[in-house]
Amino acid sequence: MLSFTGKLNRTKYWVANLLIIPALLVVTFFALTLAFAGVASANWVVVVAGLLFGLVSSFMYLWMTLSVTIGRLRDAGQNPLFVLAIFILPFLSLIIIGILPSEPKQQ
């Protein structure tokens, strides 16, 4: 699920989008809240730790979203470059990609 190669069926796609990715968003939110709390208390060690933690979790979120979506697009027989639609219509494109039928298996 963390690789940009291979395919990902609808079930795994929705598990990632409904469970794992929101968890990463919550972690990012708490990291940035920690950073802002450090600013309010003028504790720069907390600010830097919160920002670094927020940056790492943001990159994890981006990586996970892109890898899951590219795998799903391959499974549906679509061009993986269609992933760019996420940046134009974020929520709508994730739903459309999630309901695309899988490509029939060749024997």
Q: From residue 30, give the alpha-carbon distance in Å to each of 5, 7, 8, 27, 42.
A: 31, 32, 30, 5, 18
Q: Which of 2, 13, 4 is nearest to 100 (CA)?
A: 13
Asked if residue 41 has pLDDT above 80, the reply is no
Asked if residue 15 has pLDDT above 70, the reply is yes
Asked if residue 55 has pLDDT above 80, the reply is yes
**In whole angstroms, what is the distance from residue 99 CA to residue 107 CA?**
24
Q: What is the per-residue pLDDT for 20?
A: 79
pTM of the model: 0.75
Amino acid at 6: G
Q: From residue 85, give the alpha-carbon distance in Å to each of 26, 43, 63, 68, 89.
A: 24, 40, 16, 14, 6
Q: What is the per-residue pLDDT for 80?
A: 83
What pLDDT, in 10s, does the model give residues 83-107? Answer: 888 778 877 877 888 888 887 776 6
CA angle 29, 32, 37 (to 5 degrees): 120
Q: What is the per-residue pLDDT for 107?
A: 62
Amino acid at 78: Q
